[in-house]
Amino acid sequence: MPQEALTAAQASVKGAEVGGANDDPKAQLHLKLANEQIDKAKKLIEDGKNEEAARVIDRAQADADLALALAEQAKSLKEYKDADEQLGKLKKKLNQ
């Protein structure tokens, strides 16, 4: 049972990495927490502490999801800033 959730959490971590979580400091922090908790869960599973492992996996999943959301937010903010900068440059050029 925890194994299935663990696989899902690991997939979410991968998804967050692909989504650019390593490019944003806050997203990177949650990615790190997710990875640490995945490692912790693996040990707990090895020790047969499945119930505790499941709770840690839930934490890992929440951090991985948040990492992706933060990465996507950062990306959108950057796109907005770029668009705004382009607009500013265009206006400046036209006013010359």
Partner 1 sequence: MLRRTTPLSALLLLGVVACGAAQPPPELVDARKAYERASKGLATQLAPAQLDTAKQALDKAEKSFEDEGVDAPTPDLAYVAERKAELAEATAGKVAAERDAKQADKKFKDTQLEGLDKAKSELSKERQAGEKTKAQLEQERKELEQERVARAEAERKAAAAMASLQEIAKVKEESRGMVITLSGSVLFATGKYELLPIARDKLDEVAKALTDQGYKSIVIEGHTDSRGKAADNETLSLKRAESVRTYLVSRGIPSDKITASGLGSSRPVADNGTPDGRANNRRVEIVVQPLK
Residues that bind partner 1 (CB under 8 A): 30, 52, 55-56, 58-59, 61-63, 65-66, 69-70, 72-73, 75-77, 79-80, 83-84, 86-87, 90-91, 93-94
If the CB atoms of residues 3 and 52 are measured against partner 1, the closer one turns out to be 52
Q: In the complex, what is the shortest distance from the CB of residue 26 to partner 1, in angstroms, rounded to a whole number?
A: 9
Distance CA 64, CA 79 (A): 23
Distance CA 7, CA 18 (A): 17
Q: In the complex, what is the shortest distance from the CB of residue 3 to partner 1, in angstroms, rounded to a whole number?
A: 18
If the CB atoms of residues 14 and 89 are measured against partner 1, the closer one turns out to be 89
User: Is the Cβ–Cβ distance between 20 and 27 less than 8 Å?
Assistant: yes
Token pair in block for residue 9: 């959490």
Q: In the complex, what is the shortest distance from the CB of residue 76 to partner 1, in angstroms, rounded to a whole number?
A: 4
User: Is the Cβ–Cβ distance between 64 and 15 less than 8 Å?
Assistant: yes
